[in-house]
Chains A and B, each alone.
Chain A
Amino acid sequence: MPQIFHPSMNTISRLTIFGAVFMISALGWLLLTVVRSPYVTNVGVVREQPVPFSHKHHASEAGIDCRYCHTSVEFSSFAGIPPTQTCMNCHSQIWSQSPMLEPVRASFRDGKPLAWNRVHDLPDYVYFDHSIHVAKGVACMTCHGEVDQMPLIYRAASLHMEWCLGCHRHPDEHIGPRDAVFATSAQLAQMSAGESRDRLAADYHVQSKTNCSTCHR
């Protein structure tokens, strides 16, 4: 009876076994790379908006405080998206004829709200609270990036759980003085980096919160 397998099969089978280990690891690596890629996380991806609003222009060049529009950031879980009226406070006077602002004027005229495309969006099972982070000295830019340098807003961080935990495990490395929470990058550059983060962490009673129920409930 002739043998069923050619001797070369020995080599092939060894290759297959070792290859499988390699292939599986490669697949795992690929998966993780995809999951962490901007394709999934949307980091650095600009989404089209009804009005091409420039944070760079308003926050940096015009010097408007974050809280002028994001009014509830210090009080509520939600930072707040300004009502059309907030836009019209200025734009009924300046650039009042600009075609770029027509959707804003239309919204104000018809009473129909502007529907922005959400850039920073956490899954529904995550309960994030802006107010406590701001109160503990976590600056806007720590999570949102240099918004004052973004003509069009995009996501600066992945918002993955590992990213959240990176800070929650070592919060003292990411906090700053409370009066610099809303500072622009230019202001930050001028500020002295004098105060030690450890001091601040003690003063603000910053704790590492890694219980599941801190965010999931």
Chain B
Amino acid sequence: MGACGQNHLGYPQLDIVEAEQSCGPSGNSPMWRSLDELAGDPRVMALARREFPSLLDRLVDAPSRREFLRLMGASLALAGLEGCIRQPEEKIVPYVRAPEQIIPGKPLYYATAMTHGGASLGLLVESQMGRPVKVEGNPLHPAVPEVMSKANDATKSSLRFGATDAFAQAIVLSLYDPDRSQTVIHAGQIDTWESFYTQLRERLEKDTTTGGAGLRVLSEAVISPTLVDQIEALLKRFPGAKWHQYEPINEDAAIAGARLAFGASIVPSYDLAQADVILSLDADFLVDGPQRLVDGRAFAERRKVGGANAGSMNRLYMVETGRTQTGAVADHRLAVGPREVIQFTWAIAAAFGLQSAKSRFSEVIGVSQSWIDVVVGDLRKSRGRSVVLAGRMQPPVVHALAHWLNQALGNIGTTVTYRDPIVARAELNSESMRELTEGVRAGEVSTLIMLGGNPAYNAPAELKFGEVLAGVPFTVHLSEYVDETSAQCGWHIPAAHLLESWSDTRAADSTASIVQPLIAPLYGGKTSHELVAALLGDPDAKSHDLVRGYWERWHQRRGASDSFDAIWRTALHDGVVAGTQMPPVIRTLRPDIANALEHELDAINELPNAELQIAFRPDPSVWDGRFANNGWLQELPRPFSKLTWNNAVLVSPATAAEHSLKSGDVVEIVISSGSVKLPVVVVPGHPRQTVTVHIGYGRTAAGRIGNSVGVNIYPLRTSDAPWFAGIDRLKKTGTRVNLATTQHHHLLEGRNLIRTGTLAEFVAAPQHPKFMDVDEDTNPQESLYPQREWAGYQWGMVVNQSACFGCNACVVACQAENNVPIVGADQVSRGREMHWLRIDNYYDGSPDDPETYHQPMLCMHCEMAPCEVVCPVAATTHSDEGLNEMTYNRCVGTRYCSNNCPYKVRRFNFFDYNAELRENATMQLRPNPDVTVRSRGVMEKCTYCVQRINEARITTEKQDRTIHDGEIVTACQAACPAEALTFGNLNEATSAVAQLAKSSLNYSVLGELNTRPRTTHLAVVRNPNPALRHTSDESTT
């Protein structure tokens, strides 16, 4: 096996050519999950079929008989000892004075808001006796869609949850991160806030004489109204001071595009519920953007067919330069390079009569005319009911063209509205940063205050900001971690975590939310408000007073008669400040827009046109690097690559074949700004014109989790080429690394686990779509096991695969709710990841441009569960409510159940992954007290969040009533923005889950095994344009 190249696991790596050949052009080949499986390499298949691939290594050197007896003897003796130990004596410690409202054992929920991706996200955070343990969405917030809203309306439910994303779910882990900065640091030494303030005052007194000419404030994009107010006061106090904003993942192109089209920095927002046809120009709008959750919900609602929804399905055309989650659910997807996106957009605009477009792109390279004609035809048919979106990576001209197209299509006012930006200053981040750096180089800056951010790590490479920092005499960095920037600064101030802070923020429509703390700062962190207050001469100001003070003044300005106290309390309770929403703005396009676009285009045409371009993308897990020390996010399998704990170059099968690359090969990429060495992951469907790298890795001062994970890409990223750069040379280095991916871990074995069809097929026979007929007999068969009566509550779940867009929010939500440990890269590569819920990718078609499907897979709670009958100690049993229960304290770890599980959803604790909980007092605060923290040697799996079921049952039993539909939402269901997961009582005919279980699209995965799963799936229905048959040779030339 050594000759074919393998990682230490023994997975031989596949030859990409083999994969393509074995696929064949017929299009009748079965679906596949990984390229290796597609190629059907018998060596890979044999290894992948092993449940735990690494056991092979362990058994190679059989222990000698003597050693075996010694080990057995020792473990038997220990086992005996353990049983004899009496229960340890415990203390019970009550309060001295009990705080109001806290009932031990009952959680409290507090509304707060997180700022991410340029706007706020309303959160409801669960507090267990003062410890924040779980994040849910706040459905009263405009950016958060409600979960089970229909059922909640019907039952007047008081506790309502909204959706969240993976980042929001993970913040509770960051809160208890022991690596967070715990003290003020001055020149590498521990110092105090008081001595900081003394020196700051001296420094500012000097600055006052010059009007603060040497004072600079650098912040991330500031949305907080209070902070804006404070910084403005600061600028008034020091008229010579300047304020800069920088974030590496910014909206520069969108701002410039809006200026180009409208002459103003206005921001579009979309109503996807009204859009019949969506054209996305490299916009990953389902997972990125200020409205991602409501957009995702609106989109997903239009993807759900069955019942009354038969004809209302939308159609998504995606033109993209990489692989995105949005692209994966598109009806038609065009994988191209950045140039082709511009050309394509221009061609579409020309078809709608953009004057002066001339015949510049009479022929769009790489895109067939039929594709363009079809898109134009569909858009033309849906005037006023279509949307054109442009992604943040696309240049201003594409954004401007999207605005122009939306106007030409009559979408403005219906599906597209514009608003003033919520960020305090809609300025170009890269220019602001460049201006600051130039100021420092010119010696103009004597005091630099950095409110968060990590510019030494992520500023544009050519600025060399980390080096420049040393030239500033007085530098202050407020940060949650002593990071790369803190190391370069005179002063480091520990920042309070979001869940420890008072602040405020705004949603995309300007609706303000108060950020309220769930817990006092664990490490004495300060907020930006407190640091700016110190700059203004008040070192003892409390954020609470500053924020409340701001809103009190706002209230007085409004001149409303009601008491502020009531408004403040309502705002804290609801998570939104009533009356802060701003109406849309109405602006018309610049009359000279055509000329302006032409001009832009000329500039773009002059750019060097490399054949292969590198695309720098925000990372789906660590974003710009800020979440690098969050283990949940690091271990989250990235979409498509299923890579954990690393970044890699994602390349197309064509590129891989050209350079004879296999996943795991390290390549050197040389571009004009530098070079980088990274392992390759071959991703089916990746455009051949680009390779994708994710930024945010290679941190050197992130903490124990995030340090030296992956490779830092920022040194390649310049202000001129923030998203794309031409590759001069891509060279195979000859070294290979072992990538911790979860892609191989569970294989299809040639079975039809996922069923797919088109809307046309569904409409033709809505009661029994033809694509639901597959070879296997999935009707319940006679069983040898005793039949049971299923009375009372019978829990079940339906997964709508048409709605799922693979955002991973459910995976992290499950991890947070159920105390699922992280295991690290090495363990993941041995197939020991612990996620109870995974999202499998399935591909159909040629590796160059396959259809992609997401399948959330969790314990199916089979009525005839194969795992239960093989357990020798009855640790996994069936409850009379249909749950497949796992009793940890009974489990002896034979792993027979996992062996017998056809869905591979059981996870085994090979090590004591939670050991750190016992040693670290801070980490001990994190786990959900309603769920057992499992120890080594125990099998675990999805329980349908039985703790939530029990809680609801107890609550309703006390009220002498039954559980309403929607009263129990599982953690994954609560997090899902698409409402792809529905949980409830199958015995209640009107429940949402029972309705979906009756759908003609409903099927049981591996139903032919007669396991009778309680979790069933709905077939994927797509809505392709009949005029554009999906074949790879037609979509690209």
Min CB gap B867→A, angstroms:
14
Nearest CB in chain A to that of B818: its residue: A217
A154 interfacial contact with B, CB 8 Å: no
Answer yes or no: B943 CB below 8 A from chain A CBs: yes
Query: Considering the chains assembled together, what is the distance between the CA atoms of A121 and B91 in angstroms?
Result: 10
Residues in A whose Cβ lies below 8 Å from that of B97 = 83-85, 111
Cα-based distance from A82 to B104 in the complex (angstroms): 11
**Which residues of A sit under 8 angstroms from B930, Cβ to Cβ?**
127, 217
The residue of chain B having its C-beta at the shortest distance from the C-beta of A135 within the complex is B958
Q: Which of B159-167, B338-346, B384-392, B877-885 contacts A (4 or more CB under 8 A)?
A: B877-885
Quick one: which of B378-405 are within 8 Å of A by CB? none
Beta-carbon contact of B950 and A214 below 8 Å: yes
What is the CA–CA distance of A127 and B932 in the complex, to the nearest angstrom? 9
Chain A min CB distance to B246 (Å): 46
Q: How far is the CA of A81 from the CA of B95 in the complex (A)?
A: 8
Main secondary structure of the interface of A (DSSP, over half): loop
Interface membership of B154, Cβ < 8 A:
no
- Is A212 engaged at the interface, CB distance under 8 Å to the other chain? yes
User: Quick one: which of A85, A107, A205 contacts B960, CB cutoff 8 A?
Assistant: A205
Give the nearest-CB partner of B104 in chain A: A78
Tell me, yes or no, whether B562 is within 8 Å of chain A by CB. no
A116 to B93, CA, bound (A): 6
Any chain B CB within 8 A of the CB of A196?
A: no
Q: A125 interface residue, CB < 8 Å from B?
A: yes
Which residues from chain B contact A81 at a C-beta distance below 8 Å? 92, 94
If A72-B104, A211-B880 touch, does A116 touch B954 (CB 8 Å cutoff)?
A: no
Q: Knowing A40-B86, A76-B103, say if A116 contacts B92 (CB, 8 Å).
A: yes
Q: Do A123 and B104 touch across chains, with their CB atoms under 8 A apart?
A: no
Q: A115 at interface (Cβ–Cβ under 8 A)?
A: yes
Q: Mark B951-970, 1 if CB is under 8 A from A, else 0.
A: 00010011010000000000
- Does A75 lie within 8 Å of B90, measured CB to CB? no
Q: How distant is the Cα of A72 from the Cα of B747 in the complex, in angstroms?
A: 50
Instruction: Write the nearest CB–CB distance from B79 to chain A, whole angstroms.
Output: 14
Q: Please report the C-alpha to C-alpha distance between residue A84 and residue B90 in the assembled complex, in whole angstroms.
A: 19
* B889-A113 in contact (CB<8A): no
Q: Shortest distance in angstroms between A53's beta carbon and chain B's nearest beta carbon? A: 12
**Most central of A39, A80, A123, A127 by chain B CB within 10 Å:** A127
Question: What residues of chain B lie closer than 8 Å to A205, measured between beta carbons?
Answer: 957, 960
Is A217 in contact with B950, judged by CB distance below 8 angstroms? Answer: yes
B71-116 contacts to A, CB under 8 A, are 86-87, 89-98, 103-106
Smallest Cβ distance from A182 to chain B, in angstroms? Answer: 16
A131 to B104, CA, bound (A): 12
A118 at the interface (CB under 8 A from B): yes
B-side contacts of A116, CB under 8 Å: 91-94
Specify which chain A residues have a CB less than 8 angstroms from the CB of B877 in the assembled complex.
211-212
Q: What are the residues of chain A within 8 A of B950 when measuring CB–CB?
A: 127, 129, 213-214, 217
Interface string of A102-120 (1 = CB under 8 A from B): 0000011001111111100
Q: Are B879 and A112 in contact, with the CB atoms below 8 A?
A: no
Contact A118 B92, beta carbon cutoff 8 Å: yes
B97: nearest residue on chain A (CB-CB)?
A: A85
What residue in chain B is nearest A136 (Cβ atoms)? B957
Contact partners of A125 in chain B: CB under 8 A = 888-889, 932
Tell whether, in the assembled complex, residue B885 and residue A213 are in contact, meaning their CB atoms are under 8 Å apart: yes
Q: How far is the CA of A145 from the CA of B430 in the complex (A)?
A: 73
Most chain A Cβ neighbours within 10 Å, of B90, B885, B890, B950: B950
The reply on A132 being an interface residue by CB < 8 A is yes
Q: Please give, as numbers and ranges, the residues of chain B lying within 8 Å of A132 by CB-CB distance.
A: 954, 957-958
Give the distance in Å from the alpha carbon of A180 to the alpha carbon of B889 in the complex.
Answer: 35
Q: Specify which chain B residues have a CB less than 8 angstroms from the CB of A85 in the assembled complex.
A: 95-98
Asked if A83 and B98 sit within 8 Å, CB to CB, the answer is yes
Task: Tell me which residues from 890 to 912 in chain B have a Cβ below 8 Å from any Cβ of chain A.
Answer: 890
* Residue B887 at the chain A interface, CB threshold 8 Å: yes
Q: Is A124 an interface residue (CB 8 A)?
A: yes
- State how many residues of chain A have any CB contact under 8 Å with chain B: 42
Give CA–CA (A148, B950) in the complex, Å. 32
Among candidates A75, A83, A135, A212, residue contacting B94 with C-beta atoms closer than 8 Å: A83
Query: Which residues of chain B in 40-97 are interfacial with respect to chain A, using CB atoms and an 8 Å cutoff?
Result: 86-87, 89-97
Q: How far is the CA of A131 from the CA of B879 in the complex (A)?
A: 22
A118-B89 in contact (CB<8A): yes
**In this assembly, does A25 line the interface, its C-beta being within 8 Å of a C-beta of chain B?**
no
Q: Which of chain A's residues have a CB closer than 8 A to the CB of B87?
A: 40, 121, 123
CB distance from B520 to the nearest CB of A (A): 16
Q: How far is the CB of B962 from chain A (nearest CB, A)?
A: 10
- Is A77 located at the chain interface by the 8 A CB criterion? yes
Q: State whether A211 and B105 are in contact (beta carbons under 8 Å apart), knowing that A118-B91, A216-B888 are contacts in the complex.
A: no
Are the C-beta atoms of B105 and A216 separated by less than 8 Å? no
Question: What's the minimum C-beta distance from A46 to chain B, rounded to whole angstroms?
Answer: 13
User: Are A216 and B887 closer than 8 Å at their CB atoms?
Assistant: yes
With an 8 A cutoff between CB atoms, is B946 at the interface?
Answer: yes
Cβ contact within 8 Å between A113 and B104: no
Who on chain A is nearest to B877 by CB?
A212
Cα distance, A217 to B940, chains bound together (Å):
10
Q: Which residues of B contact A216 (CB under 8 A)?
A: 885, 887-890, 932
Q: Determine if B92 and A115 form an interchain contact, defined as CB atoms under 8 angstroms apart.
A: yes
B947 interface residue per 8 A CB criterion: yes
Q: A217-B932, A217-B947 are in contact. Are A82 and B889 (CB under 8 A)?
A: no
- A129 to B957: give the CA distance in the assembly, Å: 12
Question: CB within 8 A of B946: which of A82, A124, A213?
Answer: A213
Instruction: List chain A residues, Cβ under 8 A from B103.
Output: 72, 75-76, 80
> Are A113 and B947 interface neighbours, CB within 8 A?
no
User: For the complex, is B470 an interface residue (Cβ under 8 Å from A)?
Assistant: no
Say yes or no: is B610 at the interface (Cβ < 8 Å to chain A). Answer: no
Q: Write the chain B residue with the least CB distance to A133.
A: B954
Bound CA span A118–B87, Å: 11
Cα distance A72–B106 in the bound complex, in angstroms: 10
B98–A75 CB distance below 8 A: no
* Complex CA–CA separation, A140 to B153 (angstroms): 39
Is B424 close to A, CB under 8 A?
Answer: no
Partner of A117, one of B89, B887, B943, B960: B89
A39 cross-chain contacts in B, Cβ below 8 A = 86
- Judge whether B106 and A76 touch: CB under 8 Å: yes
Do A115 and B93 touch (CB < 8 A)?
yes
B877 to chain A, nearest CB (A): 5
Q: Is B917 an interface residue (CB 8 A)?
A: no
List, in ascending order, chain A residues with CB within 8 A of B86's CB. Answer: 39-40
Instruction: Mark B845-877 against chain A: 1 for CB-CB distance below 8 A, else 0.
Output: 000000000000000000000000000000001
**Alpha-carbon distance A213/B98, docked complex (angstroms):** 32
Asked if B931 is at the interface (CB within 8 A of a chain A CB), the reply is yes
Please give, as numbers and ranges, the residues of chain A lying within 8 Å of B957 by CB-CB distance: 132, 135-136, 205
A38-79: CB near B (< 8 Å → 1, else 0) gives 011000000100000000000000000000000010011110
A114 touches B94 (CB 8 A): yes
Which residues B685-737 have CB closer than 8 A to chain A?
Answer: none
Q: Are A124 and B932 in contact (CB under 8 A)?
A: yes
Most buried by A among B94, B103, B880, B889: B94
Can you name the residue of chain B whose Cβ is closest to the Cβ of A112?
B96
A78 to B957: give the CA distance in the assembly, Å.
17
Which residue of B96, B880, B881, B947 is within 8 Å of A108 (Cβ)?
A: B96
B residues in contact with A127, CB < 8 Å: 930, 947, 950
The 19 sampled A-B contact pairs (Cβ below 8 Å) are: A72-B106, A76-B104, A80-B94, A83-B96, A84-B96, A113-B95, A115-B93, A116-B91, A116-B93, A118-B91, A118-B92, A124-B932, A127-B950, A136-B957, A205-B957, A205-B960, A211-B877, A213-B883, A213-B943
Residues of A within 8 A of B (CB): 39-40, 47, 72, 75-78, 80-86, 107-108, 111-118, 121, 123-125, 127, 129, 131-132, 135-136, 205, 211-214, 216-217
The 3 closest A-B pairs by CB, nearest first: A211-B879, A76-B105, A78-B105
| 15 extra interface residue pairs, beta carbon distance < 8 Å, beyond A80-B104, A121-B87, A205-B960 | A76-B104, A113-B96, A117-B90, A117-B92, A118-B92, A125-B932, A131-B954, A132-B954, A211-B880, A211-B885, A212-B885, A214-B950, A216-B885, A216-B890, A216-B932
